[in-house]
Structure 1
Amino acid sequence: MSQNFKIIKDSVHGLIDLKPLIVKIIDTPEFQRLRNIKQLETLCYIYPCAVHNRFEHSIGTSYLARLFVEQIKKNQPELKITQEEALCVEIAGLCHDLGHGPFSHLFEDLAKKIYHKHNPNGDQKDANKFFVHEDVSLLIFDRIYSSLKKDFEQEGLNEKFRELIKELIYPSSIDEIIKLQKKLKENGSDKAQIENQIEKLKTKFEEKLGISIDKSFLFEIVSNVRNKIDVDKWDYFARDSFHLGINNTFDYKRFIFSSRVMNPDNTLNQICVRDKELRNVYEMFRTREDLHRRAYQLPKSTGVKEMMVDILYELDDVFEFYETLSKINTKNGLDNYLDLDDRILCITQKSFNKFVKDENLQKNIQRAKDLIERLDKRKLYKEISIKIIDLNNVDEWNKEKIKKRLIEETGFTEDDICIIESKINFGSKENDPLENLEFFDKKFQIVNKELIGDFNSKMKPQNFQEARLILFVKNKNILSNSDLKNRLKESFEKIIDENVNDNI
């Protein structure tokens, strides 16, 4: 046994043994940075124990990835999964979240906001693409690979495997093929053309990664673009539930032991599960919905998150967020990005403005400090109305349009209020999450889901997504005046009922 082999005690999974190369990756500064990025953004202000971080989640995801791939390898040796391929899956699980910014997903919301600040006429699609943490994970992994190249090569992982790991983290090629296959089923008129596109993508996939397309199932373990069932979610369901004190009834071990790689529609090899596990799978999606409803998108936690976005927005020019993200593909840009983590809040609080000479930046820092003080004293943004909305009209009447109308009607300002759109679902938007998962029986035959008893249970949800608009008041003077709050609430609900919810 190598002297670098380590065993650690994880709060969720118990004892985990770490292979030498995994230890080497963990000990890089790029990975250690994840210790200072909270898994659940600002939820610790509502759930005091929710202070776990991306570091432990990434190790847990890597561990589950290894369990899953080794079980498939054991059950189906005919798939010929190599030791190197299995190690790549494990490394992908470890490195999948390297690209997160301060306060995890919250930073992506901030990035969109600062994009519009610097590009007032910018398109929303461009704002969405301005910062994608998965893309940054790949950049950071490239840096780790370069610094540990000899260690990777000692394990037989050359440049081809480097590309394989990146694709396992973010399976863009598999995603393209799956989308075309779905299009093929829906549109028979362009069959020949679509089939040709699919074959070209498969060839390109094999040439780029040096792996057979028959091993497409490997790309469903860490980041499953087909049906969203992957070890990343399994770890955060278990870990978040543990720290939040919320019951998690999904048993990932049952899923692993009940899985089998099959090719149900002669397209791509995929992970299928035994028919008797249907209820357990639904429990997984119910767990997701429960965590979103009771924690991630709880109105109070959403308000705290919005406060933190406003704090970081004030610090945009101070920490040069926009400039850093604009140049993230360069060495200096990535260097600056890797300096960013949750500690910027402490830096701002601890008299940071003494070292800043520019008066405008000092004002920005002071506004941020005032908001931090307000957060610490629980003077939070307050939700005064929550409206379930008709999804058919939500694109036409988005939150910005509603906010503009509300300001026009009431005379309040942009800084007085905010409207948050909250969507709670089972992981596949408005669709049944089981649509893209196949089941097999004890004879290893694919079964029609409609014939599985639990699939047609009367306890099964009729709707898989709920959308809400939440009106928050930010201005402390309005919060202390019940007449002003009531006027805002009534105007907001009237606008929703007349323009968004005419079909409800």
Structure 2
Amino acid sequence: MKRARPQVSSGMDTFTDDDSDDIGSDTESSCCIEMGVPPGVVIADSVHNTIRLPQICLDVIDTPEFQRLRTVKQCGVCNLVYPSATHSRFEHSIGVCHWAQVFLRNCGASISNDKKLCVLLAGLCHDLGHGPFSHLWERFLMARGIKWKHEPNSAIIFKHLVETNGLGPVFKKYGLEEEHVDFICRLIEGEVPEHEDNFFLYEIIANKDNGLDVDKFEYIMRDAKQFGQAFTLDINRIIDHVGIVEKDGVKYIGFRDKIKDALLDVFVYRAKLHRDCYQHRTCKAVELMLIDALIAADEYFQIAWEEPDSTGMVVVRSCKLSECHKHPEAFLKATDCLFQDLLNSTSPELRKSRMILEAMGKRDLYTLVFMEDLEQGPEQNKMESDMVARLTESFGSQYNCEFRSCFVKFSIGEGGDPLSKVKFFNKRQPSVPINIKSKKSFIKDDYHFSELLVFCTKGKKSLTKEQMDSMESEATSIYEELKAAGPNSTSLAVGK
């Protein structure tokens, strides 16, 4: 048997080989072979051990658009609370591509090789559109009054990747034409066309029906490992028991009935990650600080790039942070490196932003002064804004501070039975969908959690115990007054 020869490629432990069974298990090799393409790369991974992908995936990985994901952390600023959570969207995306490959093999679907490759590429590229600090960037833009989501942007950046790197001819070698690029974009966004018989293809990467897709499987396993959470979730067993069920001529993803408890664990562990890690109160304080730093820098920090003008001359363009998503070339330069760029700046206009980042580095974080279980809605949002306004009126000038608020929200199954939208099948009738309900004794009837947090923009290191106690007491009093007055009352308005 020949040894695989090393190839310097994506910066990971990668190899190309002459024989499909040189490295990795026969199972891994067969994934590429079943799609009619030779294995192109083997990657050593901390979660999946060995990943084998076709060469077309390596062609995409070795582009600036994909390499950018190395500098976008998977969990935003959570690493400032959980030091080991420094993994990036880069390795996560490769892991999603791998599991999409295994998923296609195990479900036994009869589809063409070109569509299988499209699913792999959608898994690989589904996060190309994430901004710096991952989901925090969406919240930063929302604070600037801009509605923006990373999924549509991922489709835009994928098309940019194909065009600017000249991958059209490469794709054609694998039977992928322009319509396949559009198909990949729909898979990334989870946008299912009307009258689509192969509905299951759109459930593999971005399942908008029940939330069970390889993207969530991958990030739950990888994030839990990096956060140091001792989960006993066996995703491999789940993927080993997938199939295709059919209803009214439409094919969907189905799961074997005997793994219902394992699927329930997926929803439970995802909620635990939100409660204990992603939306940990200290993580929310850090997020609010970074958003404030980005807002303070937005008008003064420019992202510059070069592009040819109408005459062919290369000119320098620039835009502010909140506009970089409008320009792919600018967006490619927007990464988590912004933190250090702002921190190391010497511009007087960026002093406020710099001071916030310095406080983050010293762990002088925003101080939590109020927290209460509270469902988010129009009435609650008004209560939230009224609380912030009244606290600012009471303490803003006195303590030279402001107040910030946010909701911690997560649910198990979107506020209902998490298994209600999952299609199961049994051994006797593997293509017939059946419904299974959760055992209510296992999970509380209330599957939804929502909590309001209010922070003072001064850190604990800058406040005395008496000052913190007075703010906490006043915040509680304001909340009780607003709650007693009811949503339609205006008697407790600011300036009363």
Using the size of structure 1 for normalisation, the TM-score is 0.80
Q: CA deviation at 1:63?
A: 0.5
Q: CA deviation at 1:59?
A: 0.4
Question: What runs of 5+ residues in structure 1 fail to find an aligned partner?
Answer: 116-126, 175-200, 203-212, 354-361
Structure 1 partner of 2:253: 271
- Residue 418 of structure 2 corresponds to residue 424 of structure 1: no
* Matched ranges for 1:384-399 at <5 A: 384-391=369-376, 395=380, 397=382, 399=384
Distance in 2 between residues matched to 1:433 and 1:367, nearest whole Å: 45
- Structure richer in strand, relative to its length: 2
* Matched ranges for 1:147-226 at <5 A: 147-173=166-192, 201-202=194-195, 213-226=196-209
Distance in 2 between residues matched to 1:307 and 1:268, nearest whole Å: 48
Distance in 2 between residues matched to 1:491 and 1:460, nearest whole Å: 36
> Tell me, what secondary structure is at the counterpart of 2:453?
strand
Kindly indicate whether the alpha-carbon contact (under 8 Å) linking 1:30 and 1:144 is maintained by their aligned counterparts in 2.
yes
- Structure richer in helix, relative to its length: 1
Q: CA deviation at 1:326?
A: 4.2
2:140 to 79, 89, 110: 110
* Matched ranges for 1:447-458 at <5 A: 447-450=434-437, 455-458=438-441
RMSD: 2.5
Kindly indicate whether the alpha-carbon contact (under 8 Å) linking 1:410 and 1:491 is maintained by their aligned counterparts in 2.
no
Identity of aligned residues (%): 29
Question: What runs of 5+ residues in structure 2 fail to find an aligned partner?
Answer: 1-15, 19-38, 304-318, 487-496
One-letter code aligned to 2:153: V
* Matched ranges for 1:209-288 at <5 A: 213-264=196-247, 266=248, 268-288=250-270
One-letter code aligned to 2:351: Q
Q: CA deviation at 1:500?
A: 4.8
- Residue 331 of structure 2 corresponds to residue 337 of structure 1: yes
- Residue 160 of structure 2 corresponds to residue 138 of structure 1: no
Q: CA deviation at 1:252?
A: 1.7
Q: CA deviation at 1:309?
A: 1.3
Larger RCO (alpha carbons 8 Å, 6+ apart): 1
One-letter code aligned to 2:119: V
1:301 to 262, 283, 295: 283
Alpha carbons of structure 1 residues 278 and 394: separation in structure 2 relative to 1, 3 Å: farther
Kindly indicate whether the alpha-carbon contact (under 8 Å) linking 2:420 and 2:435 is maintained by their aligned counterparts in 1.
no
Structure 2 partner of 1:64: 99
Q: CA deviation at 1:417?
A: 1.8
Structure 1 partner of 2:11: none
> Tell me, what secondary structure is at the counterpart of 1:157?
coil
Distance in 2 between residues matched to 1:421 and 1:370, nearest whole Å: 25
Q: CA deviation at 1:313?
A: 1.7
Structure 2 partner of 1:368: 353
Superposed CA deviations along residues 65-104 of structure 1, whole A, max 9, x for unmatched, are: 11101212xx34xxx3111111110100000000111111
One-letter code aligned to 1:8: I
Distance in 2 between residues matched to 1:99 and 1:404, nearest whole Å: 35
Q: CA deviation at 1:324?
A: 5.9
Q: CA deviation at 1:384?
A: 2.7
Q: CA deviation at 1:474?
A: 1.4
Using the size of structure 2 for normalisation, the TM-score is 0.81
Superposed CA deviations along residues 445-485 of structure 1, whole A, max 9, x for unmatched, are: 443424xxxx2341222111111111212124895223332
2:111 to 81, 103, 113: 81
